[in-house]
Amino acid sequence: MKRLISITALCLGLSLFAQTKYQVTPYAGYNFSDSDSELKDHMLIGISLDTFLNERYGLRLGFENGLKAKYKGYPYQTGMENTDIYRYYVNAIVNANDVFRTYFAFDPYIFGGIGYEDIDKNCLGEKSQGFTNVGLGIRFPISEDLSIISEAKAIQKWKNKDVDVVGNIGLGYTFGNYVKEPETTVLPPPKIEPKPKPKEEKIVIYNQFPNVVPVQSIKPVISTNECVYANTIPKSKDICDNRNYIQVAAKLKCLPNEEYDNRKFLNKIKRYGYRYTIYNTTNRAGKKVSKVLIGPYKCLSDAKRHLCDIKRKIAKDAFVYRK
């Protein structure tokens, strides 16, 4: 238990230096031992820290503790009938949410790597050794930061060639953001004034005048970035009243929440960790409209900070909407 507390403190300490997206997941599970193993099936607890460089690839550091695994060949009350098992591992993670098309709101992923198993009491040929593990996991988002994590993996031990199967379930907490390259503003090229031409005398024939075309100065249009603008809103002008939303879709037919027909689109919103509501209202023409709104956000600046991410992932025509 002391090792588990130490690993938890290490994971929380790393979060203070977070420059990318992280996920901390405490979990509990069950270890199904190999039929040739001298250890019986046993419960385990653990914790893992995932770091994601982007939406596809990540890296995991993990620790798990087998709780009082019992030996098959030792009687009770001998002092050697059970042992603690400590596993340390490093895994690579590949998210499959962009290739696994589904109508359900969950994100599948695969993982694999190496680790070391430390057995507290080495008996009957069971020794501390390295291992390789591969597995499949599923995330069920329940909010922007929390997810229910379910995994199954196979562990191939290097010395005795035993294969254990582990199933676990945990609660993942996500924090941080992906590292993005700073945006550069491209300035227009400097305007070069033409050299004045020497004046020339011209003879104008009666009733024949040259066509004079007015010269229009063209000013470059510099687009503003709404995400950058959100960070420059003064606190005195920010609006904080929990009435700020981001509209991503609208239909000219008023329907109850549970009967909205585009289920795939709504599940896409939940898959990216956003909460939505369906707002029934009337437009200027007097027709009933059913709008899909993400939010609410406490302040207008919070909504503008999320607008660019929602445009890129969910709806490119999204905009800030206030009830």
Omega into 234 within 30° of 0, i.e. cis?
no
- Strand 21-32 and strand 288-299: the pairing is unpaired
Residue 284: partners with Cβ closer than 8 Å, 6 or more residues away:
none
For 261, other C-beta atoms within 10 Å of its C-beta total: 10
Count the alpha carbons within 13 Å of 186 in the hemisphere toward its beta carbon.
5
Domain of 293?
Answer: 226-322
Q: Are residues 80 and 155 both part of a single domain?
A: yes
Q: Are residues 170 and 318 both part of a single domain?
A: no
Q: How high is the pLDDT of residue 209?
A: 44
Question: pLDDT digit string (tens) for 246-282?
Answer: 998 887 554 454 445 577 888 888 888 888 888 888 8
Q: Are residues 166 and 247 both part of a single domain?
A: no
Instruction: CATH number of the domain at 296, please.
Output: 3.30.70
Asked, for residue 193, whether it belongs to a domain, the answer is: no
Q: Are residues 237 and 151 both part of a single domain?
A: no
Residue 161: partners with Cβ closer than 8 Å, 6 or more residues away:
none
Q: How high is the pLDDT of residue 114?
A: 96
Q: Tokens 């290739």 appear where?
A: 99
User: Does residue 50 contact residue 93 with C-beta atoms inside 8 Å?
Assistant: yes
Question: pLDDT digit string (tens) for 57-110?
Answer: 899 999 999 988 888 876 566 666 788 899 999 999 998 765 444 445 778 999
Q: How high is the pLDDT of residue 179?
A: 53
Asked, for residue 219, whether it belongs to a domain, the answer is: no
Rg (alpha carbons) of the chain, rounded to whole number:
31
The 3-state DSSP class for residue 4 equals helix
Asked, for residue 213, whether it belongs to a domain, the answer is: no
| pTM greater than 0.85 (yes/no) | no
Mean pLDDT is lowest, of 18-32, 195-209, 291-305, for: 195-209
In DSSP terms, which residues pair with 86 in a beta bridge? Answer: 65, 118
CA distances 56 to 111, 146, 305, Å, are: 12, 19, 23
Q: Are residues 158 and 236 both part of a single domain?
A: no
Where are the alpha helices (H) located in the chain, listed in sequence order? 2-15, 226-230, 263-271, 300-313
Instruction: CATH number of the domain at 8, please.
Output: 2.40.160.20
